Amino acid sequence: MLKKRLIIAMTGATGAVYGVRMLQVLQTQEEWETHLIISSAGVVNLKHEMNMKRAELTQLADVVHGIDDIAASISSGGFKTEGMIIAPCSMKTLAAVAHGFGDNLISRGADVVLKERRRLVVMPRETPLNLIHIRNMATVTEMGGIIFPPMPAFYSKSDSLMGMVNETVGRVLDMFGVNVDGLYTPWTGL
């Protein structure tokens, strides 16, 4: 079976759990092939927030690319993917994506996804936001990227942090047609 490829990129913004959970969920989906890239700041946060080493994370992905491997398959538009999720996305990587500054495989990968008009979902995390953060989000949106800040919805009355993470991960994966039972319950009205 030809699998659908999805690039998952993790950066040094807080919220490593989003990238980890996404990979865990996709691992259960036979028709999907994940391509992981993590920045060096992402590795630091992964250790700090989840006590997880890079080597443990890479077990969750089908293909792992080095952040500086600018010749990797996903650095070319000729390599077909369904798109890319940056989870979480730092303001630095957001800036690079917004300005086409492809100096590492995350920003280059996003550049390729945008130029090929594939789906790019960016999960930026910072607070409060300064003007350049907001402008960069607007620029990515103007190019067709989707800005999906990991903001929990309290109306679903989740009783745990993981419940809130699952809901966000479920909503993002839904955008690629990955529907996994139990991640979140779609709103049906009051």
Ligand X SMILES: Cc1cc2nc3c(=O)[nH]c(=O)nc-3n(C[C@H](O)[C@H](O)[C@H](O)COP(=O)(O)O)c2cc1C
Please choose, out of 7-15, 22-30, 160-168, 169-177, the segment that lies near ligand X by the rule CB under 6 A.
7-15
**Which one, 95 or 180, has the nearer CB to ligand X?**
95
Rg (CA), the chain: 16
Residue 12 known to bind ligand? yes
Residues of this chain, 110-169, that bind ligand X according to CB under 6 A: 125-126
**How many residues does the structure list for the chain?**
190
**Which one, 37 or 61, has the nearer CB to ligand X?**
37
* Residue 66 DSSP SS3: coil
From the CB of 125, what's the least distance to ligand X, in Å? 4
Instruction: Rule CB under 6 A: say whether 48 interacts with ligand X.
Output: yes
Instruction: Rule CB under 6 A: say whether 81 interacts with ligand X.
Output: no
Q: Which of 32, 35, 45, 112 binds ligand X (CB under 6 A)?
A: 45
**Whose CA is closest to 109, among 149, 71, 158, 56?**
71
Instruction: Rule CB under 6 A: say whether 39 interacts with ligand X.
Output: yes
DSSP characters over the chain: -PPEEEEEEE-SSS-HHHHHHHHHHHHT-TTEEEEEEE-HHHHHHHHHHH---HHHHHTT-SEEE-TT-TTSGGGSTTS--SEEEEEEE-HHHHHHHHTT--SSHHHHHHHHHHHTT-EEEEEE--SS--HHHHHHHHHHHHTT-EE------GGG--SSHHHHHHHHHHHHHHTTT---TTS-------
Please choose, out of 28-36, 41-49, 69-77, 174-182, the segment that lies near ligand X by the rule CB under 6 A.
41-49
Instruction: Rule CB under 6 A: say whether 34 interacts with ligand X.
Output: no
Instruction: Rule CB under 6 A: say whether 54 interacts with ligand X.
Output: no
Residue 91 known to bind ligand? yes
Instruction: Rule CB under 6 A: say whether 11 interacts with ligand X.
Output: yes
Instruction: Rule CB under 6 A: say whether 41 interacts with ligand X.
Output: yes
From the CB of 101, what's the least distance to ligand X, in Å? 11
Binding site residues, ligand X, CB under 6 A: 11-14, 39, 41-42, 44-45, 48, 90-93, 125-126
